[in-house]
Amino acid sequence: MGKIVIMYFYLKQPKSDKATVIDLIYHLKAEKKNFKYSTGQKIIPADWDFSARYPKLKRGASGKKNKQIALVLDNYRKHLEDAISDFKIQNRHLTREDLKLIFEKKFNANYKDDKIPFNVKDAIEVFIENKKKGGGVSDNWKKKYTNLKNKITLFDVYKKRQTVFTDLNENWLDAYCGFLRDFPNLVDKKKAKEIKSIVPKVGQSDNTLYRHVNLLFTFLKWVRKNYKIEIQELTNPVDEYDTDDIHLTDEEIKKIERVYLRSEVLQRARDIFLIGVYSGQRFSDYSVFEKEDIVQTKKGEIIIKRADKTEKESFIPLHNKLRVLLDRFDWKIPQMSTQKFNPYIKEVCMRAKINNIVKKTTHRGNKKEVEYQEKWKMVVSHTARRTFITLSSEKGMPDHIIMKITGIRNTETLAKYKKTSQDSVFDYMNITWG
């Protein structure tokens, strides 16, 4: 490697007649100051070449020792050169604080990582590990923040520089959102495969992106609180829109219950979906149904459980339709990712002829995409929970009861789940004014 650094090794006590410590010195032009770091190596000044600033080449035992010291110093030199090269590629100024962190991590055996990494993607990993140590975080939570880390990693690859906290401003956030909106076309697919990040066929919609940016803000709030780092206060530049998420009608549920399915995989998907319809629980919480949670009341049996996501206690009446399905699985609901489950339940609904035409509107920045498609194509795992909430509300179940069953904590969240049907509006209008 060419001479890209103004650095040298310096003896702490060059006039001593005893072995003295060798320090690495590097001059930072941007700060107009020197970075100094002790190598921990000691040498007698008589064995030091003050012109070359390296141990003298000698024969015998002292020569062998000098050679070993030189190898250690070479390691320090290379580590410095690599750091300088990395920052140069990223078009960033290297600071003494950066170098101290880099060298401490590499050479200090007693180093404790009580400082947040200077780049955002590594800091998110620290955030995830800290929260895991504290307990109380769900697998779904870990997936969301791992996805955040992966997306920023891929954005860094696209921009050819690591994102650091001082980069976080409105321009950076706008560029990041633009990257995610056009993600399939801009992402390095080889790198995405390497870090096991799924590349969808289309970029993120504004509603997905809005939630993603809020995750980033939650992480930044944690950084400010725990590490006292000054980070610019940002507002979410993405608008959130009312969704066209669907719910199923009573008649459509009956179609799903009755449709003949030869495949055991589709039968299993149908049963798992109906458990959500009959219980109102999140897809991620089906696996925590346990017989031990059943409590006998004067009115009948009820399941008392805590949601994986919120730790909120729910009361789920064990009615006959729900019990039959739970018994069918011996109360051990097969675990399946939504990525695998969603295509199965779509096929079930297609076979059940859930095929009336519905409108789907997607916003991506200044683009509004409208398409009309058969309803089965829009059914996903979460449709079950939305169906329970909507139908329960339309049949007169009070909000506070729905909230107690589903574990929803506030009426604003509940309102987002409710999807009033056209038939319901028509019926109530006729009852009131017809």
Q: Dig out the tokens for 399 from the structure.
A: 């909000």
Paired with 49 in beta bridges are 54
The alpha carbon of residue 224 and the mean position of all alpha carbons in its chain are separated, in whole angstroms, by 19
Rounded to whole angstroms, the Cα distance separating 120 from 155 reads 11
In the chain, the amino acid numbered 353 is K
70 and 164 part of one domain: no
What SS3 class is residue 16?
Answer: coil
> In this structure, what CATH number is given to the domain that contains residue 315?
1.10.443.10
Q: What is the pLDDT of residue 169?
A: 94
Q: What is the pLDDT of residue 140?
A: 82
Q: Is the pLDDT of residue 84 over 60?
A: yes
Domain assignment present for residue 257? The answer is yes
50 and 187 part of one domain: no
262 and 407 part of one domain: yes
288 and 343 part of one domain: yes
Domain assignment present for residue 235? The answer is no
What pLDDT digit, counting tens, does each position of 286-333 carry?
Answer: 766 888 889 888 888 898 886 555 456 788 899 999 999 999 999 999
Q: What is the pLDDT of residue 1?
A: 41
Domain assignment present for residue 278? The answer is yes
423 and 338 part of one domain: yes
Rounded to whole angstroms, the Cα distance separating 5 from 99 reads 14
Count of CA atoms in the C-beta half-sphere (13 A) of 57: 2
Q: From 86, 225, 111, select the one nearest 164 (Cα to Cα).
A: 86
Query: What are the C-alpha distances in Å from 335 to residues 268, 277, 340?
Result: 11, 17, 10
Q: Dig out the tokens for 196 from the structure.
A: 């096991």
Domain assignment present for residue 239? The answer is no
- State the DSSP code for 200: -
In the chain, the amino acid numbered 8 is Y
What region does 365 belong to: left with phi over 0, alpha with psi -120 to 50, or beta? left
- Answer for the pair 351, 379: CB distance below 8 angstroms, yes or no: no
- Answer for the pair 420, 394: CB distance below 8 angstroms, yes or no: yes
- State the DSSP code for 219: H
- Sheet of 301-306, strands arranged across: 294-296, 301-306, 313-317
Q: Is the dihedral of CA 37, 39, 45, 49 positive or negative?
A: negative
Model confidence band, residue 3 (pLDDT cutoffs 50, 70, 90): very low
Percentage above 90 pLDDT, the chain: 51
Model confidence band, residue 420 (pLDDT cutoffs 50, 70, 90): low
The whole domain housing 95 covers 7-107
262 and 394 part of one domain: yes
280 and 389 part of one domain: yes
Domain assignment present for residue 1? The answer is no
More confident call, 351 vs 228: 351
Model confidence band, residue 426 (pLDDT cutoffs 50, 70, 90): low
Residue where a domain terminates, one of 75, 107, 139 = 107
Question: Tokens 């996805």 label which residue?
Answer: 147
Domain assignment present for residue 236? The answer is no
Q: From 275, 269, 300, 301, select the one nearest 289 (Cα to Cα).
A: 275
Domain assignment present for residue 297? The answer is yes
404 and 259 part of one domain: yes
The verdict on pTM exceeding 0.95 is: no
Per 3-state DSSP, the chain is made up of helix, strand and coil in percentages (nearest 5) of: 55, 15, 35
Rounded to whole angstroms, the Cα distance separating 289 from 334 reads 11
Residue where a domain terminates, one of 107, 132, 162 = 107
- State the DSSP code for 118: S
CB atoms within 10 A of CB 37: 20
211 and 68 part of one domain: no
Rounded to whole angstroms, the Cα distance separating 143 from 123 reads 16
Domain assignment present for residue 221? The answer is yes
163 and 187 part of one domain: yes
Q: What is the pLDDT of residue 423?
A: 64
270 and 419 part of one domain: yes
More confident call, 307 vs 163: 163
Domain count, the chain: 3
What pLDDT digit, counting tens, does each position of 23-65 carry?
Answer: 999 998 888 889 999 999 999 999 999 999 999 998 888 889 9
83 and 176 part of one domain: no
Q: Is the pLDDT of residue 340 over 80?
A: yes
